[in-house]
Chain A
Amino acid sequence: MKKIANVEELNAMRDKLKDKIGIRHDVPNNIQVVVGMGTCGIAAGAPAVLSAVTKEVGRLNLQNVTVAHKGCQGNCENEPIVEVIIPGKEPVTYVNMNSQKVTKIIGEHVVGGKPVVEYSKYGRIKGFE
């Protein structure tokens, strides 16, 4: 353990550590990225997708993003499914996901605010047609 020499060092350390804990506080305005983790999703490779989402959010240090997962949504043939929910906007559902697609979605939709229309279930998204 390194000694903290002054207040600046303490603040820097606090800022760096904040995300370790943020998930445990109520953050209602966070963007949610939800991965379907039903048996169908898991069989289709959802765990790798969930890992990819987690890593990418971590890599970009996105403090305002919550990564979550949920069960089967009755759309098994299109698994793995990822849902991006930006507060105040319609949720967008992406289908047949993989790690590469995740990188693009995080970069363009979650960070950039522009949905990746071609990955969506019907190739079109309300408001982005």
Chain B
Amino acid sequence: MYRSHILVCAGTNCHSGKSDKFIEYLDEKLLEHKLNEEVKVVKTGCFGLCAFGPVVVVYPEGIFYQMVDQAGIERIFAEHVLKGRIVDDLVYEESKKHGVIEPFEQTDFFRKQVRVALHNCGVIDPEDINEYIAVDGYQALAKVLTTMTPQQVIDEIKASGLRGRGGAGFPTGLKWSFAAAEPAGKKYICCNADEGDPGAFMDRSVLEGDPHVLIEAMAIAAYAVGADEGYKYVRAEYPLAVQRFQKALDDARAMGFLGENILGTGFSFDMHVKLGAGAFVCGEETALLTSIEGNRGEPRPRPPFPAVKGLFGKPTVLNNVETLANIPRIIMEGADWFAGMGTETSKGTKVFALGGNIVNVGLVEVPMGITLREIVEEIGGGIPSGKKFKAAQTGGPSGGCIPAKLLDTGIDYESLAQVGSMMGSGGLIVMDEDSCMVDIAKFYLDFTVDESCGKCAPCRIGTKQLLEILEKITQGQGVMEDLDTLKTLSTHIMENSLCALGQTAPNPVASTLEYFWDEYVEHVVNKKCPAGMCKDLLTYTILPDKCIGCTICARVCPVNAISGKVKEIHTIDEKCIKCGVCVDKCKFDAIIKV
């Protein structure tokens, strides 16, 4: 019996803040004070509030400590653990907002969240299978193996309305039923953990924080479709996730949740981990399967769909990590419970990785149908430094930019598609008024040009041509005809590319053209960048009425582009490389960019 648990987040973000050292420190100190049998240190997965990591939570009080460093953990031990005194200044600011320390679950960031896929993340020790079992782990597997037929499992998932969380939103139960309908024989279950969207890390968090849920879900899927072998395809850039998942796999195998005759029911299933080399395109299902087979990761035409002819030519179900993380809960709580959340067409919850110009950078799980405004302004805590919201980019590099006027859009597959973006895997990047939308479109195209596999012509060459035109525009070389070409070429690439990468790659261009047309025109016609981001369209000028001739700007200029005598007005010449150092250094706000 432990009277207190100290939870130390060991997700990748907190881990990089040396949270592993905290665990060593606490264990050592507890032993020294002979408290090791009273107080337990638990290494957990991600809490989601990554902007404030490393995170330490002390139970039973449920005190959430933020941005803990070595000095901080020493104080938490000496004060809170030994003496029961909360270390006020380390407590998460938000939970102190109303004058008293509220349980962290009551804060804005956590209050509106509903954790289904992330249910156990930040709650249990991902490296201890016993903790998973203690929170009803593997009960769902036991339930399907002993009380349900494969068809009943598929029906339950169908009834829940669960749709693929990897991007396209295909109904999961339907996908399973296709593979199940194929004649008995070799079949595979694969899990797509090749999270490639820059800034998205929900899959990593599940792998790191609750790996057993995926093993359990894959075993359930295997039972439902008649498979006996599985592959988890995870990117090699997630070393911690790979290591934790491997440990979970070994433990699950040792305890008989994988292998022959699972739980004495006669059902057998085992799986492998396959490391991906980090190509974005390998998140596309056929490219992923091609990669597992040992070939260059490139998509292949569908049909045949993987459910009919997938890995090594056999019927294969490929589900995304987040999709799978929902499965055991659906089995335990019932399809109705799950279908009770969300909208008409999109059930359950969705995890988003909040990033960009927003206060609470981190991971949130919200019911489908919640508005973008709620996520950005309430859960996300709004835009820092009092700046204005300009756009939200959802769906990763191939999603679209949603302008302020559409902030009340409810988040579900259809609504996002309707406004020219997509759910994608759940990246949500917030941009403030300082962002240039042409520059943003260029940024994302730069990514897709790099990550296009190079197989089909529209995507390979088309995205490159889009990028060339955008570059031309941001350099002030654009003509109005370029905007028409951007439009027709975007449509062409979307309609004619081989796979989803190309079919969605022009989204950032198409959506910014639609919502921020004037900004493009400003670049093309007036050769100006309203947000002041496009260097080639800017000039730095010293305001004569404000300059006092202090010479600081001239001294910091790396290319000697500023001249002027002491106490005389300075000027900037054409050598200027627009680095902005002079603006930052001028104490009199005498330098502006126009």
Residues of A within 8 A of B (CB): 1-7, 10-11, 13-14, 17-21, 23-24, 26, 35-39, 42, 47, 50-51, 53-55, 57-59, 61, 66-71
Contacts and interface: CB of A to CB of B under 8 A. Distances in A.
B550 interface: no
B1 A21 contact: no
A70 B264 CA distance: 49
B interface SS class = loop
B257 interface: yes
Contact of B142 (A2, A7, A66, A71): A7
A21 B83 contact: no
Given A37-B84, A50-B38, A23 B5 contact: yes
B82 interface: yes
B124 interface: yes
B83 A17 contact: no
Contacts of B251: 1
Nearest to B137: A14
Contact of B124 (A13, A21, A36, A39): A21
Contacts of B83: 37-39, 42, 69, 71
26 contacts: A1-B255, A6-B264, A7-B142, A10-B139, A14-B134, A17-B130, A17-B134, A19-B1, A20-B2, A20-B134, A21-B131, A21-B134, A21-B135, A23-B2, A37-B83, A38-B83, A51-B38, A53-B3, A54-B37, A55-B37, A57-B1, A67-B60, A68-B3, A68-B61, A70-B84, A71-B84
Contacts of B123: 21, 24
Interface in B238-257: 251, 254-257
A5 B251 CA distance: 15
A4 B1 contact: no
Interface in B71-100: 82-85
Contacts of A39: 83
Contacts of B129: 1
B114 interface: no
A126 B33 CA distance: 38
Interface string B1-29: 11111010000000000000000000000
A10 B256 CA distance: 11
A37 B3 CA distance: 14
Interface of B: 1-5, 7, 33-35, 37-38, 40, 42, 59-62, 82-85, 103, 105, 123-124, 129-131, 133-139, 142, 145-146, 251, 254-257, 263-264
B1 A10 contact: no
B389 to A, nearest CB: 34
A66 B84 CA distance: 14
A68 B142 contact: no
A80 B124 CA distance: 33
A54 B136 CA distance: 25
Contacts of A21: 123-124, 131, 134-135
B60 A10 contact: no
B263 A7 contact: yes
A51 B38 CA distance: 7
Contact of B136 (A1, A14, A70): A14
A59 B129 CA distance: 24
Contact of A67 (B3, B82, B142): B3
Given A14-B139, A53-B3, A4 B257 contact: yes
Contact of A13 (B37, B42, B105, B133): B133
A123 B494 CA distance: 82
